[in-house]
Amino acid sequence: MATSKEYGLGEFTFPRGWFMIGESAKITDKPQGVKFFGQELALYRGKQSGKVILLDAYCPHMGTHLARNSTSYVAQDGSVEGDSIRCPYHAWRFGPDGRCNHIPYSTGPIPPAAKVRAWKVEEHMGAVFVWHDPEGGEPDYEVPVIKELSDPSWVPIAFDDLGQVNCHTQEIVDNITDVAHFGPVHGSITKYFENEFKGHVATQRMGGGHRTLTTADGPMLETEAVYTGPSILITKMTGTHDSYIFIAHTPVEDGSAYVWHGLMVKSPTGQAQYTEQDVEIARQYQTMALAAFAQDFEVWKHKKPCFKGLFVQGDGPFIKQRAWYRQFYNPRSQREEILKSVDGIHLARGFEGKPAQAA
């Protein structure tokens, strides 16, 4: 696997930002062992508060994994008590703040070092997100959300769990500027294309045909794909159906990522309250959207790492995008300098930007 250092991204192995770590519906009071950012973690939902809790996985007592056990009686009886979790080896109990709050066989004081890191998590859109910052700072932007979430005319988002892909996230983010791949990979006929970089947000605006998501005699497919931070991509689409595509990729190891895909569709039958027929049509459209994404996914799985591409005129502003991406791999104090030559709208040679009448 190619590493962040090999891509020349910066000081940090893993980037700063919000990252998806699971679907809300799949996180219960049965602990799950998960791995992100090269670290083993314990993920569960507290019985008392109902909130999702994420802790470093290894008990400081003797190094036992808090969430990868099914045979210990602690695990069989249920290791989550209230919002706390018990270690399956010696039953030390850790609260949602990561501090040990009970050692069942000891009458002495609990050692101050008896603690694990507790991670900052939030739930939005039926998904759970974690804040990761190598500098240990607080979030400097909010988790992006789809504004139509509460609109009853929109079929709710559904997720496709795509598992792990063994390529660096830089290869995935490259897609935001890769205008030249749309024809060969997706069968698109691109009418306009532009990128805009502004702070922690990268946007792609495109219009044209698409062999999967629209028809030859149908309306032009217009998209606005927005990366908010290094990981969460939300694409608004108009054309055959008004919809949003959601894509999240979270580093597992240095050079691999876990990927989710989702779709949210406005009532295809034009109802103020979506119907079962709308749900059926939306899921069919999601299958089509996933098929289009799978075309990219297959390329990423089998390609050689692109550390320094042999870019030519018409490729899109890859260099600007890769510079933009570096802000998340370096201290915040360097962000302004990194973005100095990046912020703004950039066009690929041979393509017009988004026309004023399409705004």
Question: Quick one: 84 and 167 in the same domain?
Answer: no
For 262, residues 6+ apart whose C-beta sits below 8 A from its C-beta are 157, 158, 159, 160, 245, 246, 247, 286
pLDDT score for 348: 85
CA 112 to chain CA mean position, Å? 35
Answer yes or no: is 198 within a domain.
yes
Question: Quick one: 40 and 120 in the same domain?
Answer: yes
For the cut 50, the answer to whether the pLDDT of residue 359 exceeds it is no
- Which of the two residues, 21 and 238, has the higher pLDDT score? 21
pLDDT score for 208: 81
Is 36 strand, coil or helix? strand
Q: Where among 108, 132, 156 does a domain terminate?
A: 132
CA 238 to chain CA mean position, Å? 23
The domain total for the chain is: 2
For 338, residues 6+ apart whose C-beta sits below 8 A from its C-beta are 323, 324, 326, 327, 330
pLDDT tens readout for residues 122-142: 999 999 999 999 999 999 999
pLDDT score for 190: 87
Question: Quick one: 225 and 120 in the same domain?
Answer: no
Question: Quick one: 230 and 97 in the same domain?
Answer: no
pLDDT score for 358: 46
pLDDT band at residue 304 under the 50/70/90 scheme = very high
Question: Quick one: 198 and 127 in the same domain?
Answer: no
pLDDT band at residue 214 under the 50/70/90 scheme = low
pLDDT score for 1: 81
Question: Quick one: 283 and 353 in the same domain?
Answer: yes
Q: Hey, what are 228's tokens?
A: 């908010």
Asked if 221 contacts 300 with a C-beta cutoff of 8 angstroms, the reply is: no
Question: Quick one: 184 and 316 in the same domain?
Answer: yes
pLDDT score for 209: 66
Mean pLDDT of 66-84: 97
CA 312 to chain CA mean position, Å? 30
User: How high does pLDDT run on average in the chain?
Assistant: 94
Instruction: Give the separation between CA 172 and CA 342, rounded to whole angstroms.
Output: 19
The CATH number of the domain where 155 resides is what?
3.90.380.10
Scanning the structure block, which residue is given the tokens 């709308």?
A: 278
Question: Quick one: 318 and 230 in the same domain?
Answer: yes
Question: Quick one: 190 and 310 in the same domain?
Answer: yes
Least confident among 67-71, 193-197, 205-209: 205-209
Question: Quick one: 87 and 183 in the same domain?
Answer: no
The CATH number of the domain where 125 resides is what?
2.102.10.10
Domain of 123, in residue numbers: 12-132
For the cut 80, the answer to whether the pLDDT of residue 213 exceeds it is no
- Which of the two residues, 315 and 351, has the higher pLDDT score? 315
Q: Where among 79, 108, 132 does a domain terminate?
A: 132
Question: Quick one: 165 and 102 in the same domain?
Answer: no
Answer yes or no: is 140 within a domain.
no
Answer yes or no: is 4 within a domain.
no
Least confident among 40-44, 129-133, 311-315: 311-315
Q: Where among 103, 132, 161 does a domain terminate?
A: 132
Question: Quick one: 191 and 49 in the same domain?
Answer: no
Instruction: Give the separation between CA 220 and CA 331, rounded to whole angstroms.
Output: 42
Instruction: Give the separation between CA 197 and CA 346, rounded to whole angstroms.
Output: 8
Percentage of the chain modeled with pLDDT above 90 = 86
pLDDT score for 182: 87
For the cut 60, the answer to whether the pLDDT of residue 94 exceeds it is yes
Judged on CB neighbours under 10 Å (0-12, 13-18, 19+), 9 is buried
For the cut 60, the answer to whether the pLDDT of residue 215 exceeds it is no
Mean pLDDT of 20-26: 98
As a three-state string, the secondary structure of 239-279 is CCCCEEEEEEEEECCCCCEEEEEEEEEECCCCCCCCCHHHH
